[in-house]
Chains A and B, each alone.
Chain A
Amino acid sequence: MAAREPTVNTLLALLLMAVPLVALAIGEPFYITLATRIAILALAAVGLNIALGLGGLVSFGHAAFFGLGGYVAAILATHAFNGEPLFLGIPGTTSMPVIWFVAIAICALIALPIGAISLRTAGVYFIMITLAFAQMIYYFAISWPAYGGEDGLSLYVRNSLPLVNTAKPLPFFLVCYALLMLALALFWLIRGSRFGAALQAARQNATRLSAVGIAPFNINLAAFVMSAMMTGLAGALFADLNRFASPSMLSWHMSGELIVLIILGGKGRLFGPVAGAMLYVFFEYALGGITERWQFFLGLILLGVVLFARGGLLGLLAGKVQHG
């Protein structure tokens, strides 16, 4: 039984890889975009899964980091195109690696104070305060006309990566897929490490962690920042996928969506976010084609998962968590 989870994970990874290949074979490139969307949302949720799944920190503000990543990509690209420097004569750029680096760094810088303040609280207060911070950033973005305000900010062309033609759907999918796999590898390493042990202990019993001499606050803060960095990277990719950074990336709906992905897929499970993103995008597409009210049905499904399948899809497929 313990051996089932790796098999399920492998199958999920292969399935996600197969979608765009099949799409290409049958001449339906739209499905490549759908698969890319899954990979990016899964990447964002792998980030949140560090805080929420391992640490039990229910951040209802991760849209802030997703959106920040998106705006970093769009703003840098805009400046690169119009040739105006950002500030202090720093030019924009259309280089993805530079954009990723900046997005990750900015998310870390912003997550640090947000986490330091929010982690003074716990439970429902933590949920509310992370939401409040994210909404502050949201309103800041829509009231800043220089970068599109409520209209958001378009990218003229997709940003670039050496040796890869990112304008084509399949190569861009492969880039996102590779980053997702990298993030999953990192999550796996972190979960099994000393830090991961402390983080999971903080979730189970913070007093126990303190009693062995490890301060839960520091562990949780580090987890929150790492979590935000991954979600920020996903945001940058999302803006590139849509060639658009929308304020909706920053809104509380987005934070909720990421939490839903994790609950659907399986909280704290390595491939929970992947399974969750697949289900979510599938429902969005399949149900969305039939009815405008697809989110109502998604709500029903979510209710079913919470009531009858606590472990999410991974819990159903691979059984209970094994803690080694």
Chain B
Amino acid sequence: MVEPVLEIRDLRKNFGALKVTDGVNLDLRPGEIHALIGPNGAGKSTLIHQISGSIRQDSGTIRFLGQDMAGLGMAARASLGLGRSFQISSLAPEFSALRNVMLAVQARQGPSFRFFRPVMADKSLTDPAMAMLERVGLAARSNLPAAELSHGERRQLEIAIALALGSKAFLFDEPMAGMGPEGSRSLTKFLGGLRREAPILLVEHDMDAVFALADRISVLVYGRIIASGKVDDIRNDPEVRRAYLGEAA
């Protein structure tokens, strides 16, 4: 079997008495979209936070490209190639869309302790950043401050940033949320192609998108993965229907 890009073993995290992550095992293989679904409050975002390093797990291991992530902060994991988007967009609000992406380009090029050369005149930053905005369809909005973009556009911008990082795995937390049907459709198409660049762990509520995109699905309920497998197996799993899909239908 191919080595997974991302490998999570027996991950546990409590918030007080709440077992928000309760013995999760999960992996992400090259070339795939692995969808993580589950009801609100199941602990999906908290799992993404632990993988990206913004929250520390209580126990268990996270391995990325074969390396144990223990002791590495968010910035270190990002520079190793873990690119993420946030459920609630997290951008530099005063900076233009372009400058938000340029930040990722500059991070990828090495340390930021360079004090003199103006970034706006640096084609090695602006050109790749613009190219990424073009890929996600935001080129026309490149000069707008992130704060003035629509919900959906902010989502696209976060994805452009993750692309600019040259990520080796993507963690996307509900990228479709707040997008109209048109936006969801075009993003679905885009993500479908993106898996060839790097595998995607996709948290998503939009079931049309999930069934259209996912190679595998895992279902998280109260911090536990109650089922994991191919799309059809999950669709027909009685426990999943009861715990999640039944409720959503």
Which residues of chain A have a CB within 8 Å of any CB of chain B? 189-190, 192-198, 200-201, 204-205, 207-216, 219, 222, 321, 323-324
Contacts and interface: CB of A to CB of B under 8 A. Distances in A.
Given A205-B90, A207-B90, A324-B99, A212 B118 contact: no
Contact of B120 (A189, A195, A208, A324): A324
20 contacts: A194-B106, A194-B115, A194-B119, A194-B125, A195-B114, A196-B115, A197-B102, A198-B103, A200-B94, A208-B92, A209-B92, A210-B74, A211-B52, A211-B84, A212-B103, A213-B79, A213-B165, A214-B107, A215-B73, A219-B112
Interface of B: 52-54, 73-76, 78-79, 84, 86, 90-96, 99-100, 102-104, 106-108, 112-120, 125, 145, 161, 165
Contacts of A209: 75, 92, 103
Contact of A194 (B74, B86, B117): B117
Query: Does more than half of chain A's interface fall in helix, strand or loop, or is it mixed?
Result: helix
Contacts of A210: 53-54, 73-75, 78
A15 to B, nearest CB: 27
Most buried by B among A190, A200, A204: A204
Contacts of B114: 193-195
Nearest to B116: A189
A222 B114 CA distance: 11
Nearest to A188: B118
Given A193-B119, A195-B115, A211 B78 contact: yes
A207 to B, nearest CB: 5
B134 to A, nearest CB: 19
Given A209-B92, A210-B74, A212-B165, 18 more contacts: A193-B117, A194-B106, A194-B114, A195-B113, A204-B93, A204-B95, A205-B91, A205-B92, A208-B91, A208-B92, A211-B74, A211-B161, A212-B104, A214-B107, A222-B113, A321-B94, A323-B95, A323-B99
A200 B88 CA distance: 21
